Chain A
Amino acid sequence: MSPTRPIEKVLVANRGEIAVRVMRTCREMRIPTVAVYSEADRGALHVRKADEAVFIGPAPARESYLSIERILDACRRTGADAVHPGYGFLSENAELARALDRAGIALIGPPAAAMDAMGVKTTARRNMAAAGVPVVPGSEEPFAEEAEARAFAERIGFPVMIKAAAGGGGKGMKKCDRAEDFAALWQSARREATAAFGDDRLYLEKFLEKPRHVEIQVFADQHGNCVWLGERECSVQRRQQKVIEETPSVVLDDRLREAMGEVAVRAARAVGYVGAGTVELLVDAHRNFYFLEMNTRLQVEHPVTEMVTGLDLVRMQLEVARGEPILAQEQVQRRGHAIEARVYAEDPARGFLPQPGKITYLRVPGGPGIRDDSGVYAGWVVPQWYDPMISKLVAWAPTRPQAIDRLIRALGEYVVHGIGTNLGWLAAALDHPEFRSGDYDTGFCARNAKALVRPPDPSLERVALVAAAVAAFKRERDAAEAHAARAGQGAARSGWARAGRLRALRGGGR
């Protein structure tokens, strides 16, 4: 089938590593790109990687990267005929999709209707249940009577979660293991809900034991074809934020994987999906799986899928947007194991405090099977305004243990000076016996919080003392030499000559 819609110029409505990532593929496809940037990002890498760049406003995202009007205006000014939204910001905003449509600009993403169908969790849940996709069993509406609720709990099976309809922050939420405890816990949850929200309505959800977060990457074209590209396991999470992702997942065998893949495709078809999407599922200790939500965008962790399938998902997004058909399911091949670690500007030893600031030196790892998707460079001041993720480091190897060792090796090579990072924390997490065994779940970080913040290795203290003393000694000696040089002949020389003399002294040996 011939392309139905050419793409001449892509505006990337995002920043950081994902903007750079999208521009890389566009460059390979010889499609010019436009960057947008806020006041905080004039010096950012994505501005330099693009062919054109447009200033779109102040540092706070809602006045720049989240402004649909400014994005549209940037398209008009540069003649961009397509927008790639990346992830975060406007990537799942149906309003942007509609506004671009009205302006005759292509969105490299799903149609607005598909975003609407998946955007609100309760709506998505209803749509999925109607399409025969398994959802976490629970009540759609709050219960009027305790007896009614209890009968429902017995039907879906204990343990169940009793939850406040107005809920949030864990208040008015009780886990009930046995029918005998139901009455007491129901009353207690109701009291808490009333106190916290002034609303005593309660509903029920099945409690999943040791849930693992497994998601399926799907891809659909404009001609009704839809494929799944394998899964990603995202069970190392900190405060609901994914930190490590891998594929394949150790909990799936081929039968379960195929069953989940088919369900994911069914979910995408049910909402008329087009483009890259991810169906997130929970897998419980008994290997039952349930629909959680669908992400209607390219995801942060897409590189692990690219590493094992050899596909370029951004390229596929652009091809689909041009109206080209996607590959057939039989053509999807997966090979080996890939793991991604998210490098954050944060201090794990101080409660993961964000660490914006100037990167004074940066050395990125390389070697066999390593990929670094980064949005930073040495000399760049990481702004305080945006997400603390600065890079994604991905390792591929034939087997899972080799991929783990390779990623730990690469993390050890990563050098970032000037700001704190979680590099050491990531290495500790990957090296933890629980992660290595593959028997981990979403409680991993909380359970091992202490073990993952490694204390300094006492055997290195001696080396630190040597370093500090030698550095101080050299500094004093250099200062003394510079002083002697100035006293000797400095007065008659120009500043440039003096600087040259100092440089020669420094290079000549200390």
Chain B
Amino acid sequence: MKTYVALLDGGKREVTVGVTRLATGQYEVRVGDEVHRVDAYAHDYGTLSLLVDTRSYSAMLDDRGAKVHVQVDGSVFPLELLDERKLRMRRASPRASVEGRRAVTAPMPGRVVKVLVAPGDAVRAGQPLVVVEAMKMENEMRSPKDGKVVEVRVVEGQAVEGSALLCAVE
């Protein structure tokens, strides 16, 4: 049995999941204390058809980011899946701090239409910093905290990719 630890709710909850392969596509999966018989069929386009104790589900996995987003029947669950080795590494490293420098990134590809701050400006949590236009809508990127703008990476009119660094607040 291979054992994983899933971190849920941003790491607040941990659930242990054990997987044992029985035959092609056939598994016994232990989630917490409960054991399920699972038949998994992977489609080319990234969807996993699951029969969990005969109940049928379609799960879609997006693991492009650090977190895995699993979507089942319209519900999305962001989680982190660690095996024993990764779990040990995670526990050995200090927890990421919410203090200090925080990056403000573009949540989607678009175009910068306004830069409202300059390095050195004092800002409050929730204050708009940069306005990015995508699909004919203007979206305000706001400060994640009270602090000072330490870096501005973009200028008005610039095209940005999704997750591009716009500015940083410390």
Residues of A within 8 A of B (CB): 345-346, 350-357, 360-361, 378, 384-388, 412, 415, 417, 423-424, 427, 454, 456-457, 460-474, 476-477, 509-510
Contacts and interface: CB of A to CB of B under 8 A. Distances in A.
B36 interface: yes
A386 B109 CA distance: 12
B60 interface: yes
B150 interface: no
Residue among B38, B61, B68, B110 with the highest chain A CB neighbour number at 10 A: B61
Contacts of A473: 2, 19, 21, 27
Given A417-B46, A473-B27, A510-B24, A467 B70 contact: yes
B19 A464 contact: no
Contact of A357 (B25, B27, B48, B162): B162
A462 B31 contact: yes
19 contacts: A357-B162, A361-B45, A361-B47, A415-B58, A417-B45, A427-B74, A454-B74, A463-B52, A463-B59, A464-B77, A465-B15, A466-B52, A467-B70, A469-B18, A470-B29, A472-B4, A472-B81, A474-B40, A474-B42
A470 B70 CA distance: 12
B12 interface: no
Contacts of A423: 74
Interface string B115-135: 000000000000000000011
Contacts of B38: 466, 470
B4 A467 contact: no
A464 B50 CA distance: 10
A454 B48 CA distance: 23
Given A356-B110, A384-B135, A469 B4 contact: yes
A118 B63 CA distance: 51
Contact of B136 (A387, A461, A466, A469): A387
Contact of B50 (A415, A461, A470, A477): A470
Contacts of A352: 137
Given A361-B45, A384-B111, A471-B61, A465 B79 contact: yes
A424 B46 CA distance: 20
A461 B34 CA distance: 13
Interface residues of B, number: 53
Contacts of B72: 460, 463-464, 467
B8 interface: yes
A429 B38 CA distance: 34
A351 to B, nearest CB: 8
B83 to A, nearest CB: 8
B79 to A, nearest CB: 6
Contacts of A417: 45-47, 60
Contacts of A427: 74
B19 A470 contact: yes
B24 A360 contact: no
Contact of A468 (B18, B34, B45, B79): B79
B152 interface: no
B46 A388 contact: no
Main secondary structure of the interface of B (DSSP, over half): strand
Contacts of A460: 57, 72-73, 75, 77
A465 B45 contact: no
A350 B107 contact: yes
B132 to A, nearest CB: 9
B50 A463 contact: yes
A448 to B, nearest CB: 18
B46 to A, nearest CB: 6
B155 interface: no
Q: Give the top 6 A-B pairs by smallest Cβ distance, nearest first.
A: A467-B59, A456-B75, A509-B24, A354-B135, A464-B77, A464-B70
Contacts of B34: 462
Contact of B79 (A350, A464, A476): A464
A353 B17 contact: no
A457 B70 CA distance: 12
B165 to A, nearest CB: 18
Given A356-B108, A427-B74, A468-B79, 20 more contacts: A345-B135, A353-B107, A357-B109, A384-B135, A417-B60, A454-B74, A456-B76, A460-B72, A461-B77, A463-B57, A463-B59, A466-B17, A466-B31, A468-B4, A469-B6, A470-B40, A470-B48, A470-B50, A471-B63, A509-B25
B50 A386 contact: no
A469 B81 contact: yes
A387 B61 contact: no
B105 interface: no
Given A388-B135, A463-B50, A468 B81 contact: yes
A254 B145 CA distance: 58
A477 B19 CA distance: 12
Contacts of B31: 462, 465-466
Nearest to A477: B21
B45 A356 contact: no
A386 B42 CA distance: 34
Contacts of A464: 59, 70, 72, 75, 77, 79
A281 to B, nearest CB: 27
B61 A467 contact: yes
Given A386-B135, A466-B17, A461 B8 contact: yes
Contacts of A471: 42, 48, 61, 63
Nearest to A428: B74
B146 to A, nearest CB: 22
Given A384-B135, A463-B52, A510-B25, A360 B36 contact: no
Residue among A351, A361, A415, A469 with the highest chain B CB neighbour number at 10 A: A469
Contacts of A467: 48, 50, 57, 59, 61, 70, 72
B77 A354 contact: no
Contacts of B135: 345-346, 354, 356, 384-388
B85 to A, nearest CB: 12
Contacts of A378: 45
B57 A465 contact: no
